[in-house]
Amino acid sequence: MKLIVNFIFLFIFLSPCFAQSKPVDGVVAIVNEDVITEGELRERIENIKKSLPPDAVLPPQAELREKVLNEQINAVLELQIAKKANIAVTDEQTENAIAMVAKNNNISAAELKQRIQETGIPYDQYFQEIHDQLVIHKLQEQELLPLIRISNQEIQDYLKHAPEKTKPAEDYHVIDYLISIPEVLTPEQETQFQMQANQISLLLKANKSIADISSVEKTDLGWRHLNELPTLFQPVILKMHLNQVSIVRAPNGFHILQLVEWKGMPQKLMQEMHLKKIYLKEDALNDAQRIKNRLVQIRAQIASGGDFSVIASQISQDPESRIEGGDLGWLKPGSYEPDIEAAIRNLKPGEVSQPVKVQQGWVLVQVVGRRDLQNKQSIREAEAREAIFQRKITEKLQDWLKQARAQAYISIF
């Protein structure tokens, strides 16, 4: 599962964790044996500002500084925990992740490298940061995945209360009702304007006219592509459904947005894969190379007619799948690690991957079958499962980080 949404998205534009250098100056935080300097914090804040569009609304400087510092502390702490747990990422895995970044942004690896260099960021530093993000991702998988369980009843309950999606869309027809506010507000005024925005929202939802309300400025934005809408509106519009009304607080006032129409793109079919795996764990007697060599031999045995399920039930060290002959059932992309996804992407049904490095061991994965989720209900259930997973993993991550910080020595200056 994806624990960090787009955790390797084009990092040079979005990362709040990247620092081009490590200036030696005042210390702003101590995390066990590591320190975070004022220069690192300042530079990371500047990187965030540079990565955002000109019309982006940032929180006050003090709030932004606190948020970025806490993210830095979490990252440093997670890397320390991962090191103690012997969680490692190879250079090959890092290169594969960077290649995926390039692919997701429709550019070649060479073009990505050039863009990185054009920003003045040394490629080896970018490489190291992606490596660290992968380490953190693996740590979170190891610590949190065993805690996540999603029942069929949870999925059905979610579908009962979640309106059916009308996405993805190509163009949106949006009307913006603006309640302007002064630059400086008292808490009482803020509450009054919020109540007024809520009242306008209720009237619009009830299809009542607000033409006689002089304090509201109506602007029909017409048909616009998502990236042509104000940046502040985009994440809100993405979550809206036809005729839904949402309130956006902006520096110039309260925007009550109404999604009138949308023009949809053909929905891309989701594809599931039926997979089996054989997992062997590294230990004091079996190092990585020995395990890898053994799996290479097993793969050759299967290619010569050996039964994957029989072998999995005999030797696999994953207790849950072993009793099923290694059978993992039908899974959609994102339900397994990026390295596994890369290894099986081009496999045909019946074919077996090369050995893949995973948490504390190695796996062979067999693609049993592929199928498109053309059934509307199946697609909705898959989307519901992903939404529930993301909610649960976010909650677990927050709890886990809170506990990890409580057990660490952290001093903020």
Q: CB neighbours (10 Å) of residue 179?
A: 20
Give the CATH number for residue 342: 3.10.50.40
- Residue 140 shares a structural domain with residue 182: no
Q: Does 210 lie in the same domain as 88?
A: no
The pTM is what?
0.54
Model pLDDT for residues 192-234, shown as the tens digit of each residue: 889 999 988 888 888 887 877 878 888 888 888 877 788 888 8
Task: Please name which of 321, 291, 289, 292 lies closest in space to residue 308, comparing C-alpha atoms.
Answer: 321
Do residues 356 and 294 both lie within one domain? yes
* Shared-domain flag, residues 202 and 232: yes
Domain end: 210, 233, 264, which one? 264
Do 220 and 287 reside in the same domain of the chain? no
Are residues 301 and 222 part of one domain?
A: no
Strand order in the sheet with 27-31: 34-37, 27-31, 410-412
Q: Do 52 and 156 lie in a common domain?
A: yes
Under a CB-based contact definition with an 8 Å cutoff, are residues 292 and 278 in contact?
no
The answer to whether residues 154 and 179 belong to one domain is: no
| Domain-ending residue, one of 264, 290, 313 | 264
Per-residue pLDDT of the chain (413 residues; tens, 9 = 90+): 444 333 333 343 334 344 444 444 689 999 999 999 999 898 888 877 766 666 666 778 888 899 899 999 999 999 999 999 888 888 988 888 888 888 877 788 888 888 888 777 788 888 988 899 899 988 888 888 778 888 888 888 888 876 655 445 568 889 999 998 888 888 888 888 899 999 888 888 888 878 778 788 888 888 888 777 888 888 888 878 878 899 999 888 899 999 988 876 445 556 788 999 999 998 888 888 899 999 999 999 999 999 999 999 999 998 888 999 999 988 876 677 777 887 888 888 999 999 988 877 899 999 999 887 655 666 677 778 877 888 888 888 989 999 999 999 999 98
| Closest to 401 (Cα-Cα) out of 41, 125, 73, 123 | 73
Q: Which domain holds residue 307?
A: 270-373
Convert the pLDDT of each residue in 114-130 to its tens digit.
888 877 778 888 898 88
Total domain count for the chain?
3
CA 126 to CA 22: how far, in whole Å? 14
DSSP for residue 352? B
CA separation for the pair 349, 337 (Å, rounded)? 19
Question: Looking at the structure, do residues 34 and 123 belong to the same domain, yes or no?
Answer: yes
Among 243, 264, 285, residue at a domain's last position: 264
**CATH number where 159 lies:** 1.10.4030.10
Are 201 and 237 within one domain? yes
CA 62-66-70 angle, 5° bins: 170
**So what's the pLDDT on residue 23?**
44
Q: Are residues 367 and 386 in the same domain?
A: no
281 and 354: one domain? yes
DSSP string of 238-270?
A: HH--TT-EEEEEETTEEEEEEEEEEEEPPPPPE
Name the region of 360 (left: φ>0; alpha: ψ -120 to 50; beta: rest): left
Q: Percent of the chain having pLDDT more than 70? A: 86
